[in-house]
Amino acid sequence: MKQFFLQVLHNYTLSAVITSCFVFAFRRTSPVLSTRNPNWLTCLHWMQYHQCIFRCNKPDRRLANHISHFATCACLSDKTKYPSFLRTIPSDDYQGRALAQLVKHFGWTWVGAIRSYNDYGNNGMAAFTETAQQLGICLEYSVAFVEKGAPDNMKKIINVIKASTSKVIVTFVSSGHMDVILHELSQHNLTGYQWVGTESWIIDSQPAEKDTHHILDGAIGLSIPKAHVNGMREFLLDVKQLNSSSNKLFTEFWETLFNCKFKLSNSSAENQRECTRHEDLTGVQNSFTDMSVMPIFNNIYKGVYAVAHALHSILGCNDTCNYKMQPDPLTILQHIRKIHFETKEGDEVYFDENGDPAAKYEIINWQPTENGIVDFVTVGLYDVSLPADKQLSHQLQDVLSMQVPVSVCSDKCPPGTRKVLQKGKPVCCYDCIRCAEGEISNMTGLPCPITAQDACVKKEAEFLSYEEIMGVLLTAAALFGTCMTAVVAAIFFTYRTTPIVRANNSELSFLLLFSLTLCFLCSLTFIGRPSEWSCMLRHTAFGITFVLCISCVLGKTIVVLMAFRATLPGSNVMKWFGPAQQRLSVVAFTLIQVVICILWLTISPPFPFKNFTQFKDKIILECALGSAVGFWAVLGYIGLLAILCFILAFLARKLPDNFNEAKLITFSMLIFCAVWITFIPAYVSSPGKFSVAVEIFAILASSFGLLICIFIPKCYIILLKPEKNTKKNMMEKGASKS
């Protein structure tokens, strides 16, 4: 009916004949070598590919090869059944996967599906369903359009759509079937659905030009990429070779295009003018004259050139060709499987092991204009030859809808809840229940470590540990203070017979150093995961050791005051505050704190506590006070002794003593009180583990203050100024002050 001639080889012509099947025949211009049985066929329509395959697989044509521009069924990729079949249009297997990727991209996890009940619809929808399940997309329903009994079948489809909750409908139907579905949808006024379509109808102008196109407004789908084949338009407009009254295809085409009639034509009507055969085809603008809206022409073009390149390779054509060679079908098939070239338009042409080309689709969006016409706008591209994360590209700003439709069975679970599947429903349908205490679910919109989001995860437990930097630094400071105290104690023990050590009761000095060591070490009980024993130990050890420390300082302060009183005439005060009384006072002051701690531990002791309220995404492991009265009683008693000691030391600062003992105690207690006064607001306002760090810092700072202010000046004299560490110097110093 129409024959394309492509002069690609020297003295050879490759031709394609449009009949019920396209026949690509290789022939030499010499009639002697003209082949009567063509070696290449390609099906004109997907409905006809079985007929073409059957025709070419007769016993006398078992090796006939096929290149199809329109047959998309995935079944044709089976080389055990169709070993000589190739095509220039992608398999529906790729289209099904691409549709699933497109649906997933827009977040539609709850969709309906309609398919044609044939190989095209069944195989294509099977590919979509398989990929959709892998991507977490659920099908609320999947119904088939059956031509036999269409009214009843269509009624069933309409009822299913009405009863559904999904707002997205994926279709794998032919253009003709879509026309029927669209008509029924308009009869029931079923609007408000997002339609996702295949290449069979997404760029079909017929449904877009109907009054019912508003049903499909906003539809999105895949189409074979449009392409302009150089010279194809001019070739098709030259229809002189078709200008024959015996050519039924030409007669029907011409009468429809120009609304005229030929004489003796069965299609003639009384109200139609007579066709003159001189009508101007170049002024017509439709899908026939605009090659870009008919991608199949480009596929035919690729098929013809694929054969030409294979023949070029077989015949070894450079300047001339081997005219005596007539290739057999198997040789041609082997060579055409290896071809890989680029067309003048920049398209790559090659076949994979299944005889399929690289799949590439345009993403088309139906966008209605103000004058009621639908524009087919290309808003993206799907290219399977690219890496997986780049196969789907899009320009969302070109999509008409201001807001992407939502189609989910259940909304996302908010933070603090987890999914529980609804019985008998797909995995996309679930209820949200609150997480158990101590567990969280990931926040909405963030990647979840549990892909299914059907469980809660344990909250991160936060406490001051030895592994983190802050814990390491505080531990190092505590150990440094302990070592420093031990060094001072060693110095004092070595020089225990010298006046500076013996002055002001050396027993209290050693007891004070011992208590300072305990103060440094008790800070370590605050680091690590809280337990029942560590919680009780940290507060009681802190309270008792600090009272012991302050009691020693208080005893030394009283000794300074009593020593001055003893120098007055007739005074016998030292008899009442000698070494025995000093030891007894330290024990008495400490015993009071011990009693307070025992009562605290007996009535309501500290205990490990999981704080869920301070932070939503983590648990604070801390030691609850148990009895706040007990805690503040311990802290208050320490403060009372510290204030008393500071007052007495301040009063004694100008008294004539040896080695400025009262002044040193005054400075140390000033630092001690300042640290603990600032501790209270800092402790209350610090969140989580930082409150523990503040308490440790207060313990270490006050301990270092006592150690440095009271003992370091004496160590300086012992080690660097030994000439001052004499009884004579001490007596002269005391006399000069008095």
Q: What is the pLDDT of residues 226-274, one digit of tens each?
A: 877 777 667 666 665 455 556 676 777 777 777 888 775 555 456 678 8
Average pLDDT over residues 118-135: 93
Residue 397: pLDDT over 80: no
Q: Is 270 exposed, middle or buried (0-12, 13-18, 19+ CB in 10 A)?
A: exposed
Determine the pLDDT at residue 730. Answer: 62
In contact, 627 and 542? CB cutoff 8 Å: no
Determine the pLDDT at residue 423. Answer: 86
pLDDT greater at residue 477 or residue 325: 477
Average pLDDT over residues 722-736: 65
Q: Is 323 exposed, middle or buried (0-12, 13-18, 19+ CB in 10 A)?
A: middle
Determine the pLDDT at residue 440. Answer: 58
Q: How far apart are the first and last CA of the chain?
A: 136
- Confidence band for 156, pLDDT divided at 50, 70 and 90: very high
Determine the pLDDT at residue 732. Answer: 56
Determine the pLDDT at residue 296. Answer: 76
What is the topology classification, in CATH, of domain 469-737? Rhopdopsin 7-helix transmembrane proteins (1.20.1070)
SS3 label, residue 427: coil
Tokens of 156: 């069933």
Q: What is the pLDDT of residues 275-291, one digit of tens each?
A: 877 777 777 766 666 65
Determine the pLDDT at residue 737. Answer: 47
d(CA 725, CA 718): 6
Determine the pLDDT at residue 56. Answer: 45
In contact, 737 and 659? CB cutoff 8 Å: no
Of 70-79, 190-199, 604-613, highest mean pLDDT = 190-199
pLDDT greater at residue 66 or residue 163: 163
Tokens of 615: 């932070």
Q: Which of 384, 388, 333, 330 is nearest to 357 (CA)?
A: 384
Residue 491: pLDDT over 90: yes
d(CA 69, CA 227): 14
Q: Which of 492, 477, 469, 533 is nearest to 702 (CA)?
A: 477
Determine the pLDDT at residue 424. Answer: 84
Beta strands in 652-731 (DSSP E): none
Share of the chain above pLDDT 70, in %: 76
Average pLDDT over residues 432-436: 80
In contact, 404 and 412? CB cutoff 8 Å: no
Average pLDDT over residues 693-709: 91
pTM of the model: 0.58
In contact, 398 and 376? CB cutoff 8 Å: no
SS3 label, residue 112: strand
Average pLDDT over residues 202-219: 85
92-227+360-398 has which CATH code? 3.40.50.2300
Residue 683: pLDDT over 50: yes
Q: What is the pLDDT of residues 546-594, one digit of tens each?
A: 999 999 888 888 877 776 555 544 455 555 556 777 788 889 999 999 9
SS3 label, residue 620: strand
Of the given ranges (174-178, 469-473, 575-579), which has the lowest mean pLDDT?
575-579
697 CB neighbour count, 10 Å cutoff: 17
Q: What is the pLDDT of residues 91-100, one digit of tens each?
A: 999 999 999 9
pLDDT greater at residue 126 or residue 35: 126
For residue 397, give the amino acid letter: Q
Tokens of 738: 């008095």
Average pLDDT over residues 680-691: 81
Determine the pLDDT at residue 665. Answer: 84
Residue 31: pLDDT over 50: no
Q: Is 490 exposed, middle or buried (0-12, 13-18, 19+ CB in 10 A)?
A: exposed
Determine the pLDDT at residue 593. Answer: 92
C-alpha R_g of the chain: 48
CA 43, 46, 47, 49 torsion: positive or negative? positive
Extents of the domains making up the chain? 1-71+287-346, 92-227+360-398, 417-458, 469-737
Distance of CA 103 to the CA centre of its chain: 18
Residue 36: pLDDT over 70: no
* Sequence-ordered list of residues with C-beta below 8 angstroms from that of 361, at least 6 positions apart, any chain: 90, 94, 95, 98, 199, 222, 223, 224, 225, 381, 382
Share of the chain above pLDDT 90, in %: 28
d(CA 607, CA 601): 10
User: What are the backbone angles phi and psi of residue 115, rounded to the nearest 5°?
Assistant: -135, 155
Determine the pLDDT at residue 652. Answer: 73
